[in-house]
Amino acid sequence: MSNGRNGPLTGLRVIEMVGIGPCPFAAMMLADMGADVIRIERKLDPALPNPYPSLGTKYDVMARGRRSLALDLKRPRARHLLLDLVAKADALVEGFRPGVMERLGLGPDVCSERNPKLVYGRVTGWGQTGPLAHAAGHDLNYVALSGMLHAMGEADRPPAPPLNLVGDFGGGGMMLAFGVVCAMLEARASGRGQVVDAAMTDGAALLGAMMYGLRAHGSWSSERGANLLDGGAPFYATYACADGRFIAVGAIEPQFYAQLLVLTGAADPAFVPQRRQDDWPALKEKFAALFATRTRDAWCALLEGTDVCFAPVLDMDEAPQHPHNAARATFVDVDGVTQPAPAPRFSRTPGHAGPVAAPDGPAILADWGWDQDAIATLRRDNIV
């Protein structure tokens, strides 16, 4: 069964070891594109506080588009059942600390014995090897080690946490999904699976490839807020408007900058030398004063849709309502929850955002080849 209708990954079977952060994000991406992703659930420890109250509800957006099977992997028969599923899968993805799956008897060596073509995707913060491999950490720590966190924020402030977009989701989940699809394609030709080691430190560093190139060229300063793309340039920055809301301006190219000056009525000759970096702090103050003279909606009426490279800074309530996002169906409604639609888009085999994972063990086993007598036995013995 595919939860992505006729998406480009329809027909592929993936086992997801349920966790938080990058692994469910990667599994969501695979399910959005049609893969039959089965979540292997574990019970939360009631003695521990739950910092993620949306888990297991319709608000757990990253759990969309797949079914779940609860197994107590401390029980040998449950582990044997999981290995039977592995034998029928194209990939398994997990996001535990190095060694956890091995201690459960479910590491890549054991799984590859059952299925030599299995792609075994692993995502961690520090990676499977290295001095920090077994240390605890979170997104912010991994991005810090990549060199990218130092580049974010204002010059006179500490580096600004970029939510958990750069580590968990960009450097971790997306790299895991990309790596797993790459390895599944290779396995079709070679008949052999392999382990995909997706480390958020590696992924966050890779996202900074352009900046590292500019740094080596000598055209990127280590000082925050002093560069073309980090808010240092007055023509690539955000500004407050008269109503306290914000706009984003990205008029990098000379012709776009020239149009910005014309449309905003910036008549002061000081605005004209765009690339003289010594002038940037003073120009930024001038732009700040200019944009503070009108409301955000007034600036939108004047600048949106032009080549000024302009957009309003929308909050998460506003973004789904914007006419461009609405026209492209950038957001969808699933069970009353507004959420981002699958991306990217395909002209012939579109993705699909399915409902949040629901327990469906017997149906999963039936779809994956178990007969009804075997399923009845597993249910009777409380394995599923």
Question: Between β-strands 67-70 and 358-359, what pairing exists: parallel, antiparallel or unpaired?
Answer: parallel
Are 308 and 347 part of one and the same domain? no
**DSSP states of 318-332 as a string?**
TGGGSHHHHHHT-EE
Would you state the pLDDT for residue 5? 67
Residue 369: is its pLDDT beyond 70?
Answer: yes
Are 152 and 287 part of one and the same domain? no
Distance from C-alpha of 208 to C-alpha of 151, rounded to nearest angstrom: 10
Asked which of 281, 312, 343 is the last residue of a domain, the reply is 312
Residue 327 lies in a domain: no
Mean pLDDT over 29-37 rounds to 97
Question: Between β-strands 331-334 and 310-312, what pairing exists: parallel, antiparallel or unpaired?
Answer: unpaired
Query: Of 66-75, 117-126, 352-361, where does the model show the most confidence?
Result: 117-126
Residue 158 lies in a domain: yes
Residue 45: is its pLDDT beyond 70?
Answer: no
Are 140 and 202 part of one and the same domain? yes
327 contacts: CB under 8 Å, gap ≥ 6 = none
Are 167 and 299 part of one and the same domain? no
Q: What is the pTM of this model?
A: 0.94
| 322-333 pLDDT, tens digit each | 999 999 999 999
Percent of the chain with pLDDT over 90: 89
Mean pLDDT over 178-184 rounds to 98
Would you state the pLDDT for residue 233? 96
Residue 262: is its pLDDT beyond 60?
Answer: yes
| 46-63 pLDDT, tens digit each | 666 666 777 778 999 999
Distance from C-alpha of 14 to C-alpha of 31, rounded to nearest angstrom: 9
Q: Into how many domains does the chain fold?
A: 2
Would you state the pLDDT for residue 2? 55
Residue 165: is its pLDDT beyond 80?
Answer: yes
Are 62 and 168 part of one and the same domain? yes
Distance from C-alpha of 338 to C-alpha of 135, rounded to nearest angstrom: 36
Are 147 and 258 part of one and the same domain? no
Residue 96 or residue 358, greater confidence? 96
Of 2-11, 126-135, 220-229, minimum mean pLDDT range:
2-11
Residue-number span of the structural domain to which 181 is assigned: 13-207+334-380
Are 305 and 338 part of one and the same domain? no
Would you state the pLDDT for residue 382? 87
Would you state the pLDDT for residue 55? 78
Mean pLDDT over 349-354 rounds to 96
Residue 41 lies in a domain: yes
Residue 303: is its pLDDT beyond 70?
Answer: yes
Are 302 and 351 part of one and the same domain? no
Q: Looking at 138, 297, 335, 381, which residue is catalytic?
A: 138
Would you state the pLDDT for residue 118? 98
Distance from C-alpha of 31 to C-alpha of 163, rounded to nearest angstrom: 24
| 7-21 pLDDT, tens digit each | 999 999 999 999 999
Are 338 and 195 part of one and the same domain? yes
End-to-end CA distance of the chain: 19
Residue 219: is its pLDDT beyond 70?
Answer: yes
Are 255 and 374 part of one and the same domain? no
Residue 375 lies in a domain: yes
Residue 301, H or E segment:
helix 296-303
Of 32-46, 117-131, 209-223, minimum mean pLDDT range:
32-46
Residue 163 lies in a domain: yes
Query: If pLDDT is split at 50, 70 and 90, which confidence band does 43 have?
Result: low
Average pLDDT, the chain: 94
Reply yes or no on whether 168 is catalytic: yes
Reply yes or no on whether 138 is catalytic: yes
Are 192 and 66 part of one and the same domain? yes
Q: Looking at 32, 90, 139, 168, which residue is catalytic?
A: 168
Residue 196: is its pLDDT beyond 80?
Answer: yes
Would you state the pLDDT for residue 343? 97
Mean pLDDT over 24-35 rounds to 98
Reference 349, options 9, 63, 84, 66; nearest CA is 9
Are 185 and 264 part of one and the same domain? no
Question: Residue 211 in contact with residue 151, Cβ under 8 Å?
Answer: yes
Residue 67, H or E segment:
strand 67-70
List the CATH number of the domain containing 252: 3.30.1540.10
Question: Between β-strands 91-94 and 67-70, what pairing exists: parallel, antiparallel or unpaired?
Answer: unpaired
Asked which of 263, 280, 312 is the last residue of a domain, the reply is 312
List the CATH number of the domain containing 132: 3.40.50.10540
Residue 320 lies in a domain: no
Residue 33: is its pLDDT beyond 60?
Answer: yes
Query: If pLDDT is split at 50, 70 and 90, which confidence band does 360 have?
Result: confident
Residue 376 lies in a domain: yes
Query: If pLDDT is split at 50, 70 and 90, which confidence band does 3 have?
Result: low
Residue 67 lies in a domain: yes
Would you state the pLDDT for residue 335? 95
